[in-house]
Structure 1
Amino acid sequence: MAYTPVRRDRKAPPVRINLLSDTQTRPTPAMREAMARAEVGDEQVGDDPSTNLLCDRVAELMGKEAAVFLPSGTMCNVTATLVYCRPGDEILAHVSAHLIAREGGAHAALGGFQITPLQGADGKFTAETFRAALHPRTRYQPPQTLVSAEQTANIGGGTIWKKADLDEVVKIAKANGMATHMDGARLLNATVATGISARDMTAGWDSAWIDFSKGLGAPIGAVLAGTRDFIDQVWRWKQRLGGSMRQSGMCAAACTYALDHHVDRLAEDHANARALARGLAQIQGVEVQEPETNLVFFKPDGAGISANDMIAALNKRGVQIAVMDGRIRACTHLDVTSAMIEETIAHVREIVRKA
């Protein structure tokens, strides 16, 4: 079976409004300048000062002993599971989590791990659901080694795990000898929306990471944090998987710039998401999930048009957007303005009217 990479139709009109994902952000001119000025060295021998600075800052930000710069959030998740688990071990995560639904089966392919999907509303499982999934440690069942939570929950609607719920998951995991890993793809969206610091949000979790190539606007990179011993072991897998770099400081400098200039502004993305949701909700037949951060999920079925047909119609108008699990997902980010939000609402209203 051949696998074809997803490409945009080259015959489609130019994209003027890109709501496909916050991964579509492009480095700002100021970020590019910071990258050009970055002091660099060989990362593999610990000699890149810009990368070292970034890792130290993220470790401090999340209250962990150490951190490592990785090319992607997927590699953060993969290297973490490869450290924590052995072939045949069981990982517990929400059924819609990146580990299960968005990472190409990497954890099974590379580690031979079994991931048990946990059900729950809005991309989150409850403490009761987690506890009910635990089983006695016998030779008849796989060792339950790791539990993972995704903050924010992407397919759940960009929803935020409550601090109390995260703490309860940690408590249950530790009582049962399990490690805890937080997929922090949009962790800082959660901290900005709640006012809870990243250090407090990740307290008790053995490892956690921040993705810089989403709403923070860097062109590449994520940083995984945990104990020194854990990070040493992640480094071994980073090397094995080809994730070790040389003068990575140019990319790390973009991430440091994002920490200095792009964190607080995530609130603008959240405001734009709420404005989009309000406008869409006023269109008859469009069902909208109230956003908590920068993701807006909606269904136009009640207006007599399918999600795929809506996507096609929007693409013809220069609006790029995604279908995810039967719903349309719009993602706001630093390249999306309030004027673009109003224009998108107008396009949807007109498409529904014609339908």
Structure 2
Amino acid sequence: MQLTVDLRSDTVTKPTPGMLEAMWSAKVGDDVFGEDETVNALEQKAAAIFGMEAGLFCPSGTMTNQIAIKCFTQPLDELIADQTAHVYRYEGGGIAFNSGVSTRLLNGYRGIITAEMIEPEINAENIHFPHTSLVVLENTVNKGGGSCYTLADIKPIAELCKAKGLKLHLDGARIFNALSHTGDKAADYGQYFKGISVCLSKGLGAPVGSVLLADKEIIKYARRIRKVLGGGMRQAGFLAAAGIYALDHHVERLKVDHSHARILGEELGKLDWVSNVLPVETNIVLFDTVQPAKEVLAKLAAHGIKAGDTDKHRIRFVTHLDVHAEQIEYLVKILRDEF
């Protein structure tokens, strides 16, 4: 029997019955007036989890990241990030468009950069150079195959930023996946970052939304920027309720997604038509194929399996809460028998 297995992204999940019930019963108000108590509760909850003062609920992680960059920079500034960073590659040129800021790109290992790499790229005060003001990290790194920073990796970067007067922002699109893998505590993150973006609509399974975390003054200004960007939602508590439910019920189960990803990574490593599999740490599996990726994807699609290519010979599988054990078993059988 053919099954459908959608591994294109962990953004394709549907709300669970419990999440739908939480959304249906949410108490709502007008969030632009600050009167939606469910949105307020989500913002407070997320801030407390990461040891931050306040939060701002937004429609997307792109918006939370772009608001943070706007808060932490001025036109003619420059930020430092890895060359694979989502804020640079997948946010529509928003760094330049929204903030008038240039980007200094580094070549980290699977997207992970270090203080030693960052320090020589900080510009001296000189009218010929943009002013370096911000460092952006991504955890987990999408283009790195779900690679993770540990707090031990982050600490020296934060210390360098403090010493040099730079802000440090975290694109935490899959931060709970990283925490599940490393065993670090979310509450310890607040001491290192000026801003943290936490996505609720990827591995946690909420239909919409990310929360920007920072201190109260930054969030006050961020709320103004959100309004300008068109992100001021009204009775958004129906969406925020899904985020609260996700934080309460879907964090621990991320280990299941990671286990499924490891099974796929191990199986792919045995196949002669797969030339390379990146180390699998979380829920993203990146692998290289001998034949063009689009040909492999077409064969998979014929068996009800959806995935995406990230390069001419590279394919990405992403496991999530709508991918179950029997679907993984089915996919493994297809990979073994049909290629």
Task: Give TM-score, length-normalised by structure 1.
Answer: 0.92
Partners of 2:272 and 2:189 lie apart in 1 by 38
**1:125-274 maps to which residues of 2 (within 5 A)?**
125-274=113-262
The residue matched to 1:122 in structure 2 has which SS? coil
Q: Is the 8 A contact 2:3 2:327 kept in 1?
A: no
Shift of 1:15: 7.9
The residue matched to 1:121 in structure 2 has which SS? coil
Per-residue CA distance 1:249-291 (angstroms, 9 max, x = gap): 0000000000111000001000000011111112124121121
Are 2:37 and 1:55 aligned? no
Partners of 2:115 and 2:297 lie apart in 1 by 37
Q: Is the 8 A contact 1:17 1:340 kept in 2?
A: yes
Give identity over the alignment, percent.
Answer: 40
**Structure 1 stretch displaced more, 335-344 or 90-99:** 335-344
Shift of 1:245: 0.7
Partners of 1:240 and 1:201 lie apart in 2 by 29
Uncovered stretches (5+) of structure 1, i.e. residues with no partner: 1-13
Distance change in 2, residues 1:135/1:15 (3 Å) = farther
Partners of 1:131 and 1:35 lie apart in 2 by 46
**1:300-311 maps to which residues of 2 (within 5 A)?**
300-301=289-290, 305-311=291-297
Q: Is the 8 A contact 1:310 1:351 kept in 2?
A: no
Uncovered stretches (5+) of structure 2, i.e. residues with no partner: none
Indicate the residue corresponding to 1:292 in structure 2. Answer: 281
Letter in 2 for 1:313: K
Shift of 1:239: 0.5
The residue matched to 1:153 in structure 2 has which SS? coil
The residue matched to 1:183 in structure 2 has which SS? strand
Partners of 1:346 and 1:203 lie apart in 2 by 46
Per-residue CA distance 1:61-101 (angstroms, 9 max, x = gap): 01111111000000011001111111121010000001111
Q: 2:69 aligns with which of 81, 96, 99?
A: 81
Are 2:83 and 1:105 aligned? no
Per-residue CA distance 1:126-176 (angstroms, 9 max, x = gap): 221111211211111100010000000110110011211211111111111
The residue matched to 1:125 in structure 2 has which SS? coil
Letter in 1 for 2:322: D
Shift of 1:348: 2.4
Distance change in 2, residues 1:266/1:38 (3 Å) = same
Per-residue CA distance 1:287-309 (angstroms, 9 max, x = gap): 211210000011121xxx22111
Letter in 2 for 1:291: V
Shift of 1:351: 3.9
Indicate the residue corresponding to 1:323 in structure 2. Answer: 309
The residue matched to 1:139 in structure 2 has which SS? coil
Partners of 1:310 and 1:94 lie apart in 2 by 29
Shift of 1:231: 0.4
Q: 1:29 aligns with which of 2, 5, 17?
A: 17
**RMSD value over aligned CA atoms?**
1.3
Partners of 2:269 and 2:329 lie apart in 1 by 13
Are 2:323 and 1:336 aligned? yes
Letter in 2 for 1:343: Y
Task: Give TM-score, length-normalised by structure 2.
Answer: 0.96
Partners of 1:311 and 1:273 lie apart in 2 by 18
Shift of 1:216: 0.4
Q: Is the 8 A contact 1:182 1:202 kept in 2?
A: no
Per-residue CA distance 1:218-251 (angstroms, 9 max, x = gap): 0000011011011011101000011001100000
**Structure 1 stretch displaced more, 143-152 or 117-126:** 117-126
Q: Is the 8 A contact 2:26 2:241 kept in 1?
A: yes
Distance change in 2, residues 1:203/1:15 (3 Å) = farther
Indicate the residue corresponding to 1:4 in structure 2. Answer: none
Q: 2:81 aligns with which of 93, 116, 120?
A: 93
